[in-house]
């Protein structure tokens, strides 16, 4: 069970995370590509850390929206989405080459990630970009009841998928995240989180109705943009070995 | 004698050149990479044309300055320049891959081009970027009396150079461009320009003192951002065969 | 019946319209404020022309999206919309002050305009911005069957409205625009357009069913971003006197 | 002796300073205007705090360079500088109006500030902007041996000046700052800083040669972008009463 974490999200003088503290404990860094965060030099520093700690690099492309940190949906055409993904994955690969590593997967960021999950045309635009860039890069997306459908769709483009689960979010019996804002949506306390990590690593999760359900995930998404998150990552790493 | 031309310089709804009219007559397209011009979709359309017409693609990286079209010098550190070149060359390569072509050389744009010619630290930052990305990409720069020095410096990084000359600019006896603003700096009339093209193709140029001097150039820079420029390109192409 | 036209939509080296050709024939210039188009110097040049030709200036604020020219809807919060309108109206007023004129109304641009018409929270955010800036600036929006409702809502904020109609778009019997893409949505030929101008000036319009319906409008929107549009403006002006 | 501090320098999700902790202890907030930092909503929140704590608002315009935080000199024309200052001062005034306050002075930021001090054409462009916007807004700049000359130049435009000194920087006997990088350029320790504050408040400063020299300053620049800086501000405020 690999740990993936969003990084490279500083911008110029603005710092986002203590990346040197996080990097040694994760397996996969989803690195910002300049559209929601990450200027070229910021990204390069993140990649140097990733190489130092043997962490796999993934591209984390987003809508062009620095003010909104890529979290505001933008009504882009499929052609626009496809081109912006190609541009960002390529830009990151350019910096990767300079430090002797490479992009190994693609995980869209923020609103682009969520739009991809609810709008097939966005998902297809992203898959088309990956297929025409390098079909051996899997697309990382959320483990949901639609995982099989997503896998079939990706296969149409010759692209594989990686399913990610969340250590600190409560799941519904249907295998979806309890929406933020609803009671119990976010797990608090290390005990709860580590318990869920153990369960997911074993292929199941205790849902909001208190019962266990199967949950197939390739990787666990963790958050390194605050000290509490970093401490949790360290404990999850210890738990998973 | 190859013709190179700056392209991909539209941005969103703003159009710059009639690229379909220019592309059939040139050999090398210096394609904007998003920092001074060129959004991802604009760039992709330019690359599709380049592939259609068998035109070689070069990266045309710039300072991050859309309002100034990359023509305003910015006091960046060598690390910033190196990272921004890597980012832009990679981004363009990402889009190239999708249309089945590749970046084959690097020609900095605007103020970055001029800063490179007058400040060795900028030139070194660019060479360092190219060397760590793909040393087989030559750097295109202006044919000047410093060409030998530039070649030696590039060789330190294992990088080759391409020297470009200008069809419509008058040269001094020393082999520099007569500064814009000075009398006779720009050649007017097709006759004058075609005469200079023939001379440069043969390895020399009639300078501002009326005498011939040798001028070694690998490529000729032409301008496609106005109808007059496009018509001139067509004639130059006819001249060169 | 005043003519209003979107202007100030160049950006740096990219030109949009021949503003000097348009300005003498219009009454109200909706001037871009930098978020979808219009850098500070471009805007200043437009304002100088407006002052020269005695044209009223309106603010034309937009979502922050240069690549998309403000035409892509962005999921912003009401607080974000309110703040971005205040920022843009203020910026334009800053430039207006320098040339001795002032912002006299607000007309949102592109996707912000359309979002305002279909989402009351966006309309309220814009009205709240105007009310807290200068309630004597009317909001310009499309004359639709909801005009009465819009007027009441604006009055809640102490803000007036200006209703605009379109010279070159066919109306439905309900008083809406025939959607672009549907047959007959756009009027072609000067004769048709001038006929519709005369009708609207007299308070009615011949709808898609061939019958006349009342249409109350304060101003007519015309387009100056292409030579055909400019020629049409000149004829409309002649028609209206 | 008033305390002025750069604020409004967050951007979207990126936070810069604990503004609520700083605001009660300062007199004048130099508020970012969106070009080097400060999106519209960020700025509005800063202005609300300023109003709450009765702090005077100044415009802090900059070169358009988010990645470089406005600290990289850009080769702009005088017309470009004039227009960008008008745009930014106006934008800030737009947001000020909404919260019931106003811009009361202008202090250029970063590279624009330093370019203004060493290049008269930049200073004149800024003064021209202020004069055509509202000549009753003084320009804040560094107290240097050129203060008299700056005052005369500003007077040509009908603009006043405010001279600022630095609590934590060592001065030369000539009344300039000891350049960063040179030994002793920055004062460390509260004792040293408070001693210098007392001296400046009384009209003099102990220079790098250990002797006292007169230093006329209207305001003291303090830094709130780190916890140490905030603690120092609190002490300086206590010292000054």
Q: Do B64 and D64 touch (CB under 8 A)?
A: no
Distance, CA of D119 to CA of B89 (rounded, Å): 35
Set of chain B residues whose Cβ sits within 8 Å of the Cβ of A65: none
Interface mutation vs chain A, best among B76, B86, B97, B102, most A CBs within 10 Å:
B86
Query: What's the pLDDT score for residue D189?
Result: 87
Instruction: Count chain A–chain B contacts defined by CB atoms under 8 A.
Output: 90
Pure H helices in chain D? 19-22, 40-52, 78-98, 110-118, 120-134, 147-156, 190-201, 227-240
Displacement of CA C149 from its chain's centroid (Å): 19
Closest Cα in chain C to D38? C87
Phi and psi for B5 in degrees, rounded to 5? -145, 135
DSSP H helix total and E strand total for chain D: 8, 9
Set of chain B residues whose Cβ sits within 8 Å of the Cβ of C66: 11-12, 66
Strand partners, C4: C28, C221
End-to-end CA distance of chain B: 10
Secondary structure of residue A33 in the 3-state scheme: coil
CB contact D44 to A (< 8 Å):
no
Closest Cα in chain C to D41? C83
Question: What digits encode the pLDDT tens for the residues C206-236?
Answer: 999 999 999 999 999 999 988 889 999 999 9
List chains touching D (3+ CB pairs under 8 A): A, B, C
Burial, A2: exposed, middle or buried (Cβ in 10 Å; 0-12, 13-18, 19+)?
middle
Count of residues in chain C: 241
Nearest to C117 by CA among C184, C174, C176: C176
Query: What's the pLDDT score for residue C225?
Result: 86
**Which tokens go with A51?**
């190489």
Set of chain B residues whose Cβ sits within 8 Å of the Cβ of A83: 39-41, 43-44, 95
Task: Give 10-residue mean pLDDT values along chain A (241 residues).
Answer: 97 95 98 98 98 98 98 98 98 98 98 98 98 97 97 98 96 95 91 95 96 97 91 94 83
Query: What's the pLDDT score for residue B241?
Result: 83
Query: What's the pLDDT score for residue C34?
Result: 98
Burial, A224: exposed, middle or buried (Cβ in 10 Å; 0-12, 13-18, 19+)?
buried
Strand partners, B56: B28
Closest approach of D104 to chain C, Cα-based (Å): 14
For D20-52, give one letter per residue: b (16+ CB within 10 A) or e: eebbebbbbbbbbbbbbbbbbbbbbbbbbbbee
Alpha-carbon torsion angle A134, A138, A144, A148, nearest 10: 80
Set of chain C residues whose Cβ sits within 8 Å of the Cβ of A64: 65, 67
Pure H helices in C9-39? 19-22
Question: What digits encode the pLDDT tens for the residues C170-180?
Answer: 999 999 999 99
CB contact B66 to C (< 8 Å):
yes
Least CB–CB distance from A12: residue in D10, D15, D68: D68
Set of chain C residues whose Cβ sits within 8 Å of the Cβ of D84: 40-41
**In contact, A94 and B106? CB cutoff 8 Å:** no
List chains touching C (3+ CB pairs under 8 A): A, B, D
Nearest to D162 by CA among D224, D102, D104, D225: D104
Set of chain D residues whose Cβ sits within 8 Å of the Cβ of B67: 64
Query: What's the pLDDT score for residue C189?
Result: 87
Distance, CA of D50 to CA of D24 (rounded, Å): 8
Distance, CA of B239 to CA of B235 (rounded, Å): 6
Query: What's the pLDDT score for residue A129?
Result: 98
Distance, CA of A141 to CA of C170 (rounded, Å): 45
Sorted by sequence, the CB contacts under 8 Å of residue A203 that are 6+ apart come out as A214, A215, A216
Distance, CA of B224 to CA of B238 (rounded, Å): 16
Q: Do C16 and B14 touch (CB under 8 A)?
A: yes
DSSP type of residue D138: P
Interface mutation vs chain D, best among B34, B35, B68, most D CBs within 10 Å:
B68
CB contact B24 to C (< 8 Å):
no
Query: What's the pLDDT score for residue D188?
Result: 85
Closest approach of D3 to chain B, Cα-based (Å): 30
Question: What digits encode the pLDDT tens for the residues C51-109?
Answer: 999 999 999 999 999 999 999 999 999 999 999 999 999 999 999 999 999 999 999 99
Set of chain A residues whose Cβ sits within 8 Å of the Cβ of C111: 75
Distance, CA of A77 to CA of A121 (rounded, Å): 9
Set of chain C residues whose Cβ sits within 8 Å of the Cβ of D79: 41
Helix pair C120-134, C110-118: axis angle to 10 deg: 110
CB contact C100 to A (< 8 Å):
no
Contacts made by residues C113-116, CB under 8 angstroms, sequence distance 24+:
C113/C141, C113/C142, C114/C73, C115/C73, C116/C141
Set of chain A residues whose Cβ sits within 8 Å of the Cβ of B129: 98
Nearest to B138 by CA among B127, B148, B149: B127
Question: What digits encode the pLDDT tens for the residues C27-46?
Answer: 999 999 999 999 999 999 99
Q: Output the CA angle B31-B37-B38, nearest 5 degrees.
A: 60
End-to-end CA distance of chain A: 10
- Tell me the domains of chain B and their CATH numbers: 2-240 (3.20.20.370)
Q: Does residue D226 register a pLDDT over 90?
A: no
- Considering the entire predicted model, what is its pTM? 0.97
Closest approach of D132 to chain A, Cα-based (Å): 31
Q: Does residue D74 register a pLDDT over 90?
A: yes
**In contact, B26 and B75? CB cutoff 8 Å:** no
Nearest to A56 by CA among A7, A119, A13: A7
Burial, B40: exposed, middle or buried (Cβ in 10 Å; 0-12, 13-18, 19+)?
buried
Distances (CA, A) of D149 to B66, D81, D138: 36, 21, 15
Cα-Cα-Cα-Cα dihedral sign, residues D76, C63, B43, A101: positive
Confidence of residue D203 (pLDDT cuts 50, 70, 90): very high
Interface mutation vs chain A, best among C35, C62, C75, most A CBs within 10 Å:
C75
Tens place of pLDDT per residue across chain B (241 aa):
999 999 999 999 999 989 999 999 999 999 999 999 999 999 999 999 999 999 999 999 999 999 999 999 999 999 999 999 999 999 999 999 999 999 999 999 999 999 999 999 999 999 999 999 999 999 999 999 999 999 999 999 999 999 999 999 999 999 999 999 999 999 988 899 999 999 999 999 999 999 999 999 999 999 998 888 999 999 999 999 8
**Which tokens go with B204?**
């020399």
Distance, CA of A122 to CA of A48 (rounded, Å): 32
Confidence of residue D172 (pLDDT cuts 50, 70, 90): very high
Q: Do A72 and C75 touch (CB under 8 A)?
A: yes
**In contact, B76 and B107? CB cutoff 8 Å:** no
Nearest to D238 by CA among D211, D198, D203: D198
Query: What's the pLDDT score for residue A225?
Result: 86
Set of chain B residues whose Cβ sits within 8 Å of the Cβ of C11: 11, 14, 66-67
End-to-end CA distance of chain C: 10
CB contact C81 to A (< 8 Å):
no
CB contact B132 to A (< 8 Å):
yes
Set of chain B residues whose Cβ sits within 8 Å of the Cβ of D79: none
Closest approach of D109 to chain C, Cα-based (Å): 18
Least CB–CB distance from C72: residue in A67, A68, A75: A75
Cα radius of gyration rounded to whole Å, chain A: 17
Q: So what's the ipTM on this one?
A: 0.97
Distance, CA of C108 to CA of C75 (rounded, Å): 16
**In contact, B94 and A90? CB cutoff 8 Å:** yes
Q: Do C66 and B11 touch (CB under 8 A)?
A: yes
Q: Do A87 and B94 touch (CB under 8 A)?
A: yes
Distance, CA of B222 to CA of B206 (rounded, Å): 19
CB contact D68 to A (< 8 Å):
yes
CB contact B87 to D (< 8 Å):
no
Phi and psi for D67 in degrees, rounded to 5? -60, -40
Distance, CA of D234 to CA of D241 (rounded, Å): 10
Question: What digits encode the pLDDT tens for the residues A58-88?
Answer: 999 999 999 999 999 999 999 999 999 999 9
Q: Read off the pLDDT of each residue in D75-88 and give the average, rounded to a whole number.
A: 98
Alpha-carbon torsion angle A192, A193, A197, A199, nearest 10: 20
Helix pair D227-240, D190-201: axis angle to 10 deg: 40
Least CB–CB distance from D67: residue in B64, B67, B72: B64
**In contact, D60 and D33? CB cutoff 8 Å:** yes
Strand partners, C57: C29, C103
- Do the strands C28-32 and C56-60 form a parallel or antiparallel pair, or are they unpaired? parallel
Closest approach of A35 to chain C, Cα-based (Å): 12
Matching residue, tokens 């079209």: B69
Farthest CA pair distance, chain C: 50
List chains touching B (3+ CB pairs under 8 A): A, C, D
Sorted by sequence, the CB contacts under 8 Å of residue A95 that are 6+ apart come out as A40, A43, A44, A47, B83, B86, B87, B90
Distance, CA of D81 to CA of D108 (rounded, Å): 11
Kindly state the helix (H) or strand (E) to which residue D212 belongs, with its residue range.
Answer: strand D212-214
Q: Using CB atoms and an 8 Å cut-off, which of residues 3-22 of chain A contact chain D?
A: 10-16
CB atoms within 10 A of CB B120: 12
């Amino acid at each position: 069970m690999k740990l993936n974490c969003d990084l490279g999200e500083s911008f110029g003088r603005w710092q986002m995370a203590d990346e040197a503290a996080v990097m040694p404990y994760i397996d996969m860094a989803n690195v910002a590509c300049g559209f929601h965060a990450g200027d070229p030099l910021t990204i390069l520093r993140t990649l140097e850390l990733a190489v130092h700690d043997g962490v796999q690099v993934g591209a984390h492309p987003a809508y062009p929206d620095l003010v909104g940190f890529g979290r505001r949906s933008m009504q882009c055409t499929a052609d626009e989405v496809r081109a912006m993904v190609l541009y960002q994955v390529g830009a990151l690969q350019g910096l990767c080459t300079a430090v002797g590593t490479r992009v190994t997967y693609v995980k869209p960021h923020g609103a682009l990630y969520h739009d991809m999950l609810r709008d097939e045309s966005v998902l297809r635009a992203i898959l088309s970009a990956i297929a025409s860039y390098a079909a051996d890069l899997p697309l990382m997306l959320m483990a949901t009841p639609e995982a099989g459908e997503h896998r079939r769709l990706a296969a149409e483009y010759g692209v594989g998928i990686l399913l990610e689960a969340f250590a600190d979010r409560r799941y519904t019996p249907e295998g979806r995240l309890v929406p933020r804002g609803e009671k119990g949506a976010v797990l608090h306390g290390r005990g709860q989180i580590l318990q869920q990590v153990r369960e997911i690593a074993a292929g199941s999760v205790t849902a909001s109705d208190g019962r266990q359900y199967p949950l197939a995930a390739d990787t666990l998404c963790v958050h390194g943009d605050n000290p509490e998150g970093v401490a949790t990552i360290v404990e999850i790493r210890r738990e998973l070995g």
